[in-house]
Amino acid sequence: MVKTAATVENLVVIGSGPAGYTAALYAARANLNPLLITGFQRGGIPGGQLMTTTHVENFPGFPDGILGPDLMDRMKSQAVRWGTRLVEADVERLDLSQQPFQLQADGRTIHTQSVILATGASANRLHVDGEDTFWSHGISACAICDGATPQFRNEELAVVGGGDSACEEAVYLTKYGSKVHLIVRRDSLRASRAMADRVLANPLIEVHWKRQVGRFNGSDWLESIQLLDTDGKAAEVLPVRGLFYAIGHTPNTSLVEGQLPLDDKGYLITDPGQPATAIEGVFSAGDVADQQWRQAITAAASGCQAALAAERWLTHHDLAITIEREKVEPEAAELPQPTTTATEQDFDPEALWQGGSYALRRLYHESTKPLLVIYTSPSCGPCHVFKPQLKRVLNELDGAAQMVEINLEEDADIASQAGVTGTPTLQLFKDKALEQQWRGVQQRSAIKGAIEKLI
């Protein structure tokens, strides 16, 4: 193996869940100057699976628990503070057939001596007829992200699945729905005892055993679902306005299919407890190689192992070009700040970004600039990803456009009037006319381009 010029990375970490950020943190502290490719849409979102959950109660160091997206913001800040460089994009192609390895991301080719695969897993879909019609119009893969939307308030809702995620989501949805149906394929729950007991003891949850989803009914929005029994015969019809999937995950290994050995479910195969894969210099971390434990702490721990293993391997082959950082920068970790809600007293007509219905009313009627309105909810992980992107766009446009953030929990009526069906939803107005609407995290360039056309 040859030591090459600095245009070849020492280490590229692919994925920004607990495994990826921990691996990058350790590699950065070892002066390896790691590049972390966060992912964007393929195989999840930046921050990984914890961006789709509320309280994480079992990650050590947070005795009162912490919101999943907040935990991931912290992991990201820590990795960046120690010198991790981030690329906010998906890896489109990875070629492990030659050393240095090659990958395509963000429209360029990156060469690297070593790779840590931390691409995690993605939520499964049912692929029942009509799923596409009602996707985001009643069907969601993330109760935690979408449960608070007005269309689900005081309505009957359903969750499909029988594991921990399904039970957690069913309990969570009782905060919003009038009743929650849990649709379980078998005659028992796969969830942990404690979680199953919480579901079975909850009077707002009805479990439908040995049932599967057969058909979706409705016009613009989901109105009911037809259940089938185990023989595929029509069973009960549930009058639900929302259906939430919690039917497991598929490991994100398509990048290495045909290059590395995978098990029958698609998980990467490594020696038990070891990060090294079948190709020297390629390591794995987290859920992508873990069918069994799949926890944030196990993913983080395996990220640490992978980074240490990569460092040893690079050193052993004399391949690393380390860097010296004189001081840690920024000195204190930078965390996203909550948006302040503008009142009559402190409303600023020139502010790039402010929150609340008062600011929306004023800017909608008075601003002559393009106006972005983002609908968020506190536990919406994708909103954590999207908001910094939008702030960058506004800063780049240097005051030519403005933005208002509406929190669905505080301003449900406004969201309802605006026809918002989930978070994040972004609307672009000019002179009171709705020019464009986006649902979910979008590329920065798409938003910037749409605004520039209106300036």
CB of 23 to ligand FAD, least distance (A): 9
The residues annotated as belonging to the active site are: 380, 383
Contact (Cβ atoms closer than 8 angstroms) between residue 139 and residue 224? no
Cα(20)–Cα(37) distance, rounded to whole angstroms?
9
Instruction: Name which of 85 and 210 has its Cβ closer to ligand FAD.
Output: 85
CB of 235 to ligand FAD, least distance (A): 28
CB of 154 to ligand FAD, least distance (A): 24
Q: Which amino acid is at 311?
A: E
Backbone angles phi, psi at 74, to 5 degrees: -70, -45
Contact (Cβ atoms closer than 8 angstroms) between residue 283 and residue 310? yes
User: Angle at CA 183, nearest 5°, toward 182 and 186?
Assistant: 120
Instruction: Name which of 15 and 382 has its Cβ closer to ligand FAD.
Output: 15
CB of 21 to ligand FAD, least distance (A): 8
Contact (Cβ atoms closer than 8 angstroms) between residue 43 and residue 120? yes
Q: Cα dihedral sign for 317, 320, 321, 323?
A: negative
Burial level of 112, CB count in 10 A (0-12/13-18/19+)?
A: buried
Which contiguous run of DSSP H or E holds residue 428?
strand 425-430
Could you tell me which residues are beta bridge partners of residue 208? 183
Instruction: Name which of 133 and 298 has its Cβ closer to ligand FAD.
Output: 298
Instruction: Name which of 68 and 370 has its Cβ closer to ligand FAD.
Output: 68
DSSP secondary structure, 296-324, as one string: HHHHHHHHHHHHHHHHHHHHHTT------
Interacting residues with ligand FAD (CB under 6 A): 14-20, 37-39, 42-50, 52-53, 56, 58-59, 90-91, 118-121, 165, 252, 255, 286-288, 294-297, 299
Instruction: Name which of 59 and 364 has its Cβ closer to ligand FAD.
Output: 59
Cα(350)–Cα(298) distance, rounded to whole angstroms?
46
Token pair listed for 126: 């049912």
User: Residue 61: how many CB atoms within 10 A of its CB?
Assistant: 7
Pick from 206, 226, 230, 208: which is nearest to 217 by CA?
226
CB of 58 to ligand FAD, least distance (A): 5
User: What length does the chain have?
Assistant: 455
CB of 437 to ligand FAD, least distance (A): 24
Could you tell me which residues are beta bridge partners of residue 207? 182
CB of 159 to ligand FAD, least distance (A): 11
Instruction: Name which of 15 and 138 has its Cβ closer to ligand FAD.
Output: 15
Cα(44)–Cα(211) distance, rounded to whole angstroms?
28
Token pair listed for 50: 């914890």
Which contiguous run of DSSP H or E holds residue 116?
strand 108-117
Burial level of 350, CB count in 10 A (0-12/13-18/19+)?
A: exposed
Task: Compute the radius of gyration of the chain from its Cα atoms.
Answer: 23
CB of 100 to ligand FAD, least distance (A): 18
